[in-house]
């Protein structure tokens, strides 16, 4: 028996993909990003569900993720959007993966390898993370002429703050730089088939960023990138419903009576003020239920919230069930789902919903329901 598990709703994933299809239309490729164990939702499970729902491409961060997908029998195009080590380029080519490139060393290594490969050139437009600056683009273009086996299949960039700002001035500035880079490539005789820069927020609120390929991320899992993105969509009178796909569950492993004055957990940070009961749950910060939720998080038992009491341990938490009748051994507990949202957990632990789901330990089984 698994004492903790994650349930993923295939119908919710399907709904979200179909929602984005309606937004971008038939002429734009949907490429869900499934890096970081599909944002904690299950790499292989979600990838198959997305493809079944009509997605055409998959985006991963690293080679090992793409290898897992190929080993699971997934044959769709896969784009590695992170860095691929020079020593791993040959393996990536064997698996017929598209690779993101932005430096001379990678292009030279691919060219000298001699195998036919497809690459997507990443342009630096203002995020100052991955990417080649426009000023340095002329250094790379000759390499595409020199190495005929390296096919410039795509060109991309990434927005810096589109989900954090209702004013899209900076995003539009980035978009203009991206268009300028495309024009520079076209002036040199290159016309990449795929042009992409839209994450979830841009796909929702910046139609001019769609081009012919969108890399939807957290929205594919039914979560909004931010409150500001949701507000921007509402301001634009967009009737969009995203359905969260993830529920995280566990069971009660002990119920015990506590007396007034009892101290609970490491550091004795919680003192019982009223005689009652607590339940012990077999999850902790190792599993992804972070320590910052000590004495302020909550879970759902029998349809009622049960607050966390004491510090979150490595493998256990304690919750107050004094107000919930008949809690017993191995009763189901909901950590995320049925009102216990990833957003609320994020707010309590001073982070974002992305991190809440992504940090759920990969060893915990993901079950498609």
Residues of the chain scoring pLDDT < 50 = none
Alpha-carbon distance of 257 to 241, in angstroms, equals 43
The DSSP symbol for 253 reads -
Instruction: Name the average pLDDT for the chain.
Output: 97
According to the model, what pLDDT value does residue 165 have?
Answer: 85
Please state the φ and ψ torsions of residue 132, each to the nearest 5 degrees: -100, 135
Q: So which residues are the catalytic ones?
A: 35, 266
CB atoms near residue 37 (< 10 Å): 22
Q: How far is residue 226 from each of residues 199, 232, 337, 355, 364, measured CA to CA in Å?
A: 13, 10, 18, 13, 26
Q: How far is residue 117 from each of residues 18, 91, 94, 95, measured CA to CA in Å?
A: 31, 11, 9, 10
Q: Which residues pair with 99 in a beta bridge?
A: 80, 119
Q: Give pLDDT tens digits for 24-64.
A: 999 999 999 999 999 999 999 999 999 999 999 999 999 99
According to the model, what pLDDT value does residue 167 have?
Answer: 87
CB atoms near residue 46 (< 10 Å): 26
Angle at alpha carbon of residue 220, lines to 55 and 177, rounded to 5°: 85
Strands 276-281 and 254-258: antiparallel
In the numeric block, which tokens belong to residue 42? 């299950």
User: Which runs of E-coded beta strand occur in 31-177?
Assistant: 58-60, 78-80, 98-101, 117-122, 150-156
As a whole number of Å, the end-to-end CA separation of the chain is 17
Q: Give pLDDT tens digits for 159-212.
A: 999 998 888 999 999 999 999 999 999 999 999 999 999 999 999 999 999 999
Please state the φ and ψ torsions of residue 89, each to the nearest 5 degrees: -60, -40
Alpha-carbon distance of 276 to 257, in angstroms, equals 6
Alpha-carbon distance of 348 to 360, in angstroms, equals 16
Alpha-carbon distance of 30 to 61, in angstroms, equals 17
Backbone conformation region of residue 187, classed left if phi is above 0, alpha if psi is from -120 to 50, else beta? alpha
User: Which runs of E-coded beta strand occur in the chain?
Assistant: 4-8, 29-30, 58-60, 78-80, 98-101, 117-122, 150-156, 194-196, 213-214, 246-251, 254-258, 263-264, 270-271, 276-281, 298-301, 304-307, 317-320, 332-336, 366-368
Q: Which residues pair with 118 in a beta bridge?
A: 151
> Domains in the chain and their CATH numbers?
10-235 (3.20.20.10), 246-368 (2.40.37.10)
Q: What residues have CB less than 8 Å from 315, skipping those under 6 apart?
A: 282, 283, 284, 286, 287
């Amino acid at each position: 028996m698994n004492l903790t598990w994650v349930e993923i709703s295939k119908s919710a994933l399907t709904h979200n993909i179909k929602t984005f299809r309606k937004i971008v239309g038939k002429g734009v490729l949907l490429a869900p990003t499934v890096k970081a164990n599909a944002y904690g939702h299950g790499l292989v499970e979600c990838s198959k569900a997305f493809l079944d729902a009509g997605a055409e491409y998959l985006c991963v961060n690293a080679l090992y993720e793409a290898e897992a997908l190929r080993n699971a029998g997934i044959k769709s195009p896969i784009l590695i959007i992170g860095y691929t080590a020079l020593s791993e380029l040959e393996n990536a080519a064997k698996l017929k993966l598209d690779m993101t490139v932005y430096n001379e060393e990678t292009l030279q290594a691919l060219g000298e390898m001699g195998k036919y490969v497809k690459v997507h050139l990443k342009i630096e437009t203002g995020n100052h993370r991955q990417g080649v600056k426009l000023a340095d683009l002329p250094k790379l273009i000759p390499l595409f002429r020199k190495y005929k086996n390296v096919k410039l299949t795509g060109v991309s960039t990434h927005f810096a703050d589109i989900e954090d700002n209702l004013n899209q001035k900076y995003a539009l500035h980035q978009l203009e730089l991206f268009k300028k880079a495309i024009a520079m490539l076209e002036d040199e005789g290159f016309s990449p088939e795929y042009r992409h820069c839209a994450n979830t927020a841009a796909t929702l609120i910046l139609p001019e960023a769609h081009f012919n390929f969108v890399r939807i991320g957290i929205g594919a899992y039914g979560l909004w990138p931010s409150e500001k993105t949701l507000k921007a969509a509402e301001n634009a009178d967009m009737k969009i419903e995203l359905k969260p796909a993830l529920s995280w569950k566990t069971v009660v492993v002990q119920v015990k009576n506590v007396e007034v004055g009892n101290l609970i957990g490491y550091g004795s940070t919680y003192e019982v003020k009223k005689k009652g009961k607590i339940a012990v749950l077999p999850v902790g910060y190792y599993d992804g239920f972070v320590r910052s939720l000590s004495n302020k998080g909550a879970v759902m038992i029998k349809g009622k919230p049960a607050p966390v009491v004491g510090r979150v341990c490595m493998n256990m938490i304690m919750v107050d069930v004094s107000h919930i009748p008949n809690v017993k051994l191995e009763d189901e507990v909901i950590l995320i789902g049925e009102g216990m949202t990833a957003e609320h957990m994020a707010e309590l632990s001073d982070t974002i919903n992305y991190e809440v789901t992504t940090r759920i330990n990969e060893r915990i089984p993901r079950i498609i329901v």
